[in-house]
Amino acid sequence: MERVCFLLKVKRDRLTEYKQRHKTVWPEMLAALGETGWHNYSLFLRQDGLLVGYLETPDYRKALEGMANREVNLRWQQEMAPFFEGLEGRRPDEGLLRLEEIFHLA
């Protein structure tokens, strides 16, 4: 199982709405994440907009690819894109900055 941690940056003026949107993630989006191998998925948000994501998956590349062509994911990414800084035309799921795991206490 791969443990994946990534960063994104939420615009400061959109923090409240971003948090609100994640209180009501579409059921079909949640189902698609589970079906494509996104497990134990969490998001953490700092007050300055730094977003830290964490998930566990058998294969991160396959998990990303599995979501990439799902219609529900394309709609979700389109709606979420305006919340983020620095995407330069990419979808949020294409702009994830993956961090290198250097230690894990099992």
Q: How far is CA 42 from CA 3, 23, 89, in A?
A: 12, 12, 25
Q: How far is CA 9 from CA 24, 90, 91, 103, in A?
A: 20, 13, 13, 24
Q: What is the pLDDT of residue 63?
A: 97
Q: How far is CA 30 from CA 25, 51, 105, in A?
A: 7, 19, 28
39 as an active site residue: the answer is no
Q: What is the pLDDT of residue 30?
A: 98
pTM value is: 0.93
Catalytic residue among 3, 12, 19, 22: 22
Domains belonging to the chain, first-starting first, are 2-99 (3.30.70.100)
Q: What is the pLDDT of residue 4?
A: 98
**Which stretches in the chain have pLDDT values below 50?**
none
Q: What is the pLDDT of residue 78?
A: 95
Q: What is the pLDDT of residue 39?
A: 98
